[in-house]
């Protein structure tokens, strides 16, 4: 068992990674082992990205020994693999708070450390940051400060990475160092031509390093590379990079040699480090699906989950319904952006392998490829996390909706996700999709509705549809008292003063609030529009029969359900006042989903209090005080 004290002792207690350069090889090897033990113990206790970080121990040690952060800049793509970086930059003590409210972020955080740069956990951005930062360094005369971007083989399959490689490789005067952390996986094994190419490279000897070692004296003497590099045998060299690899990503001395050479070359370089996700922890190394890419609370001794999931999550309901619909609709196909497991589509893929496509971490490609599939007469379902759809908004708008193509988007992790923080909350999709002409968006309130609405969506051929649901258990089914058109009435009172329109699973706290208000003599109707956007005429008519309308959505208020219903009421020349409850238009930190919803006033108490405030007469204020 490694205690925080052990790790700090080995780290010399300093927040400055320079202490690493004073450690011997033996001490460094001992430190690597202690870091692994520390990670297993701490991440098993709270959950997190155990697999990726166990695979990045030696790599991160080498990076901090060869480069002088923060004078030199280390960029981590996604940032889920940066726990070791955090330990080496003074955050050992706080590690028990990982991914918890007010605690350490599970990604990089500029507020936490000057060593952290990219906070966005969306993949494939680091090389573009590196391109821009290198240009800034050059223009400000600081080109003695190295720019190093660590990117996984999964993230390297994203379009942005190739846009950046094009720019970086074409600028020999800007020596950006790309460290490709190749563990052959995103969650699942990586797929496609790049994955095949990297496999070839992994099988080749690291002759480029031998050559560079033999020529390093000329290089160090500032003669640059002199003659041509070894015959290009990688895609990267064809794009203008020097290629150093494959390097054993768990042999720190080899890594340090390659990184040192990369720095000496003074030109764009790709260092190809071959690592293993979950390295050094058998339960992760043998985990068949994703090598503990992300894990919940575990028994560290066995790797077994500490607690069983309570009710089935939304994802598993979706997974089962997709398989049922796949039997019924032969034209149904499914696409994922390297997340077959987390989106639940793996099950469909096992059942219908020829109708399932994993396109890599490439949401833009997924959407427009889906447009192609729909053009070919099929009905694609694109399964992505809500937050990642933002990257493919142009493709949704112009490649799908402009052509009124029958593509269904299933947005998992919609709304507040919780521990993954601001770039993972799926809190913009209603706003974005509400702006897409012809797009029909639903937010199922429970598992039964998810099944119903998914069946309606995949049968709809006149344009795109979307369903969204959160990272949570699906909860108990909420029966409708009646259905008016497409609108389900979930709660009603004899005197209908107020109408609460709830999107998705926020119907449950809305009903609780209605019951609390009824006990205070306030009559409330609760309605679930089922198809939330565009606004249904029957919803506008129902609203017009109430004195106050309150919308509740797990999305930002700007441009969401509330904004749309406000416009619909105005268009119908209806002056019924509307109070839109939703998330604030700012980035929301990581924390527990229910705590964050409560802080936003989106639990039963918050909804109740908001309505009481809306009903309370404004205290009279003499004109002079206004």
Ligand X SMILES: CC(=O)[C@@H](O)[C@H](O)COP(=O)(O)O
Ligand Y SMILES: Cc1ncc(C[n+]2csc(CCOP(=O)(O)OP(=O)(O)O)c2C)c(N)n1
Catalytic residue among 185, 363, 468, 579: 363
Q: Beta strands 269-274 and 177-182: pairing type?
A: parallel
# binding residues, ligand Y (CB under 6 A):
25
Q: Cβ 54 to ligand Y, closest distance in Å?
A: 10
CA nearest neighbour of 77 among 125, 144, 27, 119: 125
CA quadruple 392, 393, 395, 401: dihedral positive or negative?
positive
CA nearest neighbour of 554 among 491, 511, 603: 603
- Residue 86 binding ligand X, by CB under 6 A: no
Separation between Cα atoms, residue 411 and residue 443, nearest integer Å:
10
123 is in an annotated binding site: yes
| CA distances for 589 relative to 82, 85, 520, 593, angstroms | 18, 21, 35, 11
Separation between Cα atoms, residue 135 and residue 132, nearest integer Å:
5
* Catalytic status, residue 363: yes
> Which partner in ligand Y, Mg ion, ligand X, none is near 413 (CB below 5 to 8 A by kind)?
ligand X
187 is in an annotated binding site: no
Q: Cβ 79 to ligand X, closest distance in Å?
A: 8
CA quadruple 366, 367, 373, 376: dihedral positive or negative?
negative
> Which partner in ligand Y, ligand X, Mg ion, none is near 471 (CB below 5 to 8 A by kind)?
ligand X
- Residue 420 binding ligand X, by CB under 6 A: yes
Cβ atoms of residues 602 and 580 within 8 Å: no
Residue 137 or 293: the one with the smaller Cβ distance to ligand Y is 293
Residue 153 or 256: the one with the smaller Cβ distance to ligand Y is 153
> Which partner in ligand Y, ligand X, Mg ion, none is near 125 (CB below 5 to 8 A by kind)?
none
Separation between Cα atoms, residue 101 and residue 250, nearest integer Å:
33
Separation between Cα atoms, residue 270 and residue 197, nearest integer Å:
14
Q: Which of residues 126-165 bind ligand Y (CB under 6 A)?
A: 152-155
| Degrees to nearest 5, angle at CA 54 with 12 and 248 | 95
| Degrees to nearest 5, angle at CA 186 with 32 and 259 | 45
Cβ atoms of residues 581 and 552 within 8 Å: yes
Q: Cβ 157 to Mg ion, closest distance in Å?
A: 9
**Element (H or E) spanning 482, and its range?**
strand 482-484
Q: Which of residues 446-485 bind ligand X (CB under 6 A)?
A: 471
Residue 267 or 291: the one with the smaller Cβ distance to ligand Y is 291
> Which partner in ligand Y, ligand X, Mg ion, none is near 338 (CB below 5 to 8 A by kind)?
ligand Y
CA quadruple 389, 395, 397, 399: dihedral positive or negative?
negative
Among 43, 56, 78, 108, binds ligand X (CB under 6 A): 78
Give phi and psi for 408, each to the nearest 5. -110, 125
Q: Which of residues 350-369 bind ligand Y (CB under 6 A)?
A: 361, 363
Residue 391 or 590: the one with the smaller Cβ distance to ligand Y is 391
Among 183, 190, 294, 525, binds ligand X (CB under 6 A): 294
- Site map (CB under 6 A) of ligand Y, residues 173-212, x = contact: --------x-x-xxx-------------------------
Among 89, 121, 417, 599, binds ligand Y (CB under 6 A): 121
Q: Cβ 152 to Mg ion, closest distance in Å?
A: 4
* Catalytic status, residue 91: no
Catalytic residue among 42, 137, 391, 413: 391
- Residue 391 binding ligand Y, by CB under 6 A: yes
> Which partner in ligand Y, Mg ion, ligand X, none is near 37 (CB below 5 to 8 A by kind)?
none
Give the tokens for residue 389: 């759809």
* Catalytic status, residue 626: no
Residues that bind Mg ion (CB under 5 A): 152-154, 183, 185
Determine the straight-line distance between the first and last CA of the chain, rounded to whole angstroms. Answer: 64
Q: Cβ 108 to ligand X, closest distance in Å?
A: 12
Q: Cβ 251 to Mg ion, closest distance in Å?
A: 18
Q: How many CB atoms lie within 10 A of CB 101?
A: 14
Cβ atoms of residues 365 and 376 within 8 Å: no
* Contact range with ligand X by CB under 6 A, out of 109-117, 412-420, 444-452, 618-626: 412-420
> Which partner in Mg ion, ligand X, ligand Y, none is near 175 (CB below 5 to 8 A by kind)?
none
456 is in an annotated binding site: no
* Contact range with ligand Y by CB under 6 A, out of 191-199, 333-341, 442-450, 553-561: 333-341
CA atoms within 13 A on the CB side of 294: 13
Among 34, 121, 181, 449, binds ligand X (CB under 6 A): 121
Among 90, 268, 300, 342, binds ligand X (CB under 6 A): 342
Separation between Cα atoms, residue 579 and residue 581, nearest integer Å:
6
* Contact range with ligand Y by CB under 6 A, out of 115-123, 233-241, 582-590, 597-605: 115-123
121 is in an annotated binding site: yes
- Site map (CB under 6 A) of ligand Y, residues 53-92, x = contact: -------------------------x-xx-----------
Residue 154 or 464: the one with the smaller Cβ distance to Mg ion is 154
Cβ atoms of residues 56 and 43 within 8 Å: no
DSSP secondary structure letters along 192-225: SHHHHHHHHHHTS--HHHHHHHHTHHHIIIIITT
Q: Which of residues 224-283 bind ligand Y (CB under 6 A)?
A: 277
Cβ atoms of residues 273 and 255 within 8 Å: yes
Long-range Cβ contacts of 347-356 (<8 Å, 24+ apart)? 347/319, 347/320, 347/322, 347/323, 348/319, 348/322, 348/323, 351/323, 351/326, 352/326, 355/326
Catalytic residue among 36, 267, 277, 413: 277
Separation between Cα atoms, residue 468 and residue 411, nearest integer Å:
5
Q: Which residues are annotated as a binding site for thiamine diphosphate?
A: 80, 121-123, 154-155, 183, 281, 363
The residues that are catalytic are 277, 363, 391
Q: Which residues bind ligand X (CB under 6 A)?
A: 78, 80, 121, 293-294, 342, 413, 417, 420, 471
Q: Which residues bind ligand Y (CB under 6 A)?
A: 52, 78, 80-81, 121-123, 152-155, 181, 183, 185-187, 277, 293, 337-339, 361, 363, 388, 391
């Amino acid at each position: 068992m490694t205690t925080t004290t052990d790790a700090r002792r080995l780290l010399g207690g300093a927040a400055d990674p320079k202490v690493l350069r004073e450690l011997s090889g033996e001490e460094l090897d001992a430190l690597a082992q202690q870091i692994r033990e520390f990670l297993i113990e701490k991440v098993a206790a709270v959950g997190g990205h155990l697999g990726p970080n166990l695979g990045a121990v030696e790599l991160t040690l080498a990076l901090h020994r060869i480069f002088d952060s923060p004078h030199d800049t280390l960029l981590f793509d996604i940032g889920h693999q940066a726990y070791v970086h955090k330990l080496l930059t003074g955050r050992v003590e706080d590690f028990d708070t990982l991914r918890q409210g007010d605690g350490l972020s599970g990604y990089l955080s500029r507020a936490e450390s000057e060593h952290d740069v990219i906070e966005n956990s969306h993949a494939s951005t680091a090389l573009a940051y590196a391109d821009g930062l290198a240009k800034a360094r050059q223009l400000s005369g600081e080109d003695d400060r190295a720019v190093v971007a660590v990117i996984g083989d999964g993230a390297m399959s994203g379009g942005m990475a190739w846009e950046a490689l094009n720019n970086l490789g074409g600028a020999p005067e800007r020596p950006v160092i790309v460290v490709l952390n190749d563990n052959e996986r995103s969650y699942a094994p990586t797929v496609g031509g790049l994955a095949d190419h990297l496999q070839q490279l992994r099988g080749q000897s690291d002759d480029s390093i031998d050559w560079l070692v033999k020529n390093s004296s000329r290089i160090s003497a500032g003669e640059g590379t002199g003659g041509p590099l070894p015959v290009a045998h990688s895609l990267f060299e064809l794009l203008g990079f020097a290629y150093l690899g494959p390097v054993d990503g768990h042999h720190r001395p080899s890594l340090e040699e390659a990184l040192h050479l990369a720095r000496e070359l003074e030109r764009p370089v790709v260092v190809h480090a071959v690592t293993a996700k979950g390295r050094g922890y058998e339960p992760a190394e043998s985990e068949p699906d994703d090598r503990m890419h992300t894990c919940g609370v575990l028994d560290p001794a066995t790797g077994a989950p500490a607690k069983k999931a309570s009710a089935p999550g939304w994802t598993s309901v979706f997974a089962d319904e997709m398989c049922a619909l796949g039997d019924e609709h032969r034209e149904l196909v499914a696409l994922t952006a390297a997340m077959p497991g987390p989106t639940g589509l793996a099950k469909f893929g096992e059942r219908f392998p020829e109708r399932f496509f994993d396109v890599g971490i490439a949401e833009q490609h997924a959407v427009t490829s889906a447009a192609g599939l729909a053009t070919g007469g099929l009905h694609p379902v694109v399964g992505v996390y809500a937050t990642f759809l933002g990257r493919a908004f142009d493709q949704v708008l112009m490649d799908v909706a402009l052509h009124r193509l029958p593509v269904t988007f299933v947005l998992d992790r919609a709304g507040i996700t919780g521990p993954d923080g601001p770039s993972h909350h799926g809190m913009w999709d209603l706003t974005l999709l509400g702006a897409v002409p012809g797009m029909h968006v639903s937010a199922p309130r429970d598992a039964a509705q998810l099944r119903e609405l998914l069946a309606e969506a995949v049968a709809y051929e006149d344009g795109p549809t979307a369903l969204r649901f959160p990272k949570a258990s699906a909860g108990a089914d909420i029966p409708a008292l009646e259905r008016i058109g497409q609108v389900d009435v979930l709660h009603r009172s004899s005197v209908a003063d107020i109408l609460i329109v709830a999107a998705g699973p926020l119907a449950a706290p809305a009903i609780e609030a209605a019951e609390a208000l009824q006990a205070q003599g306030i009559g409330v109707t609760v309605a679930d529009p089922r198809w939330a956007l565009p606004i249904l005429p029957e919803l506008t008519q129902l609203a017009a029969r109430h004195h106050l309308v309150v919308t509740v959505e797990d999305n930002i208020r700007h441009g969401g359900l509330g904004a749309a219903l406000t416009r619909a009421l105005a268009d119908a020349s209806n002056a019924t006042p509307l109070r839109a409850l939703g998330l604030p238009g700012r980035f929301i930190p990581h924390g527990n989903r229910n705590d964050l919803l409560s802080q936003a006033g989106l639990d039963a108490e918050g909804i109740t209090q908001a309505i009481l405030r809306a009903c309370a007469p404004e205290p009279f204020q003499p004109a002079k005080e206004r």
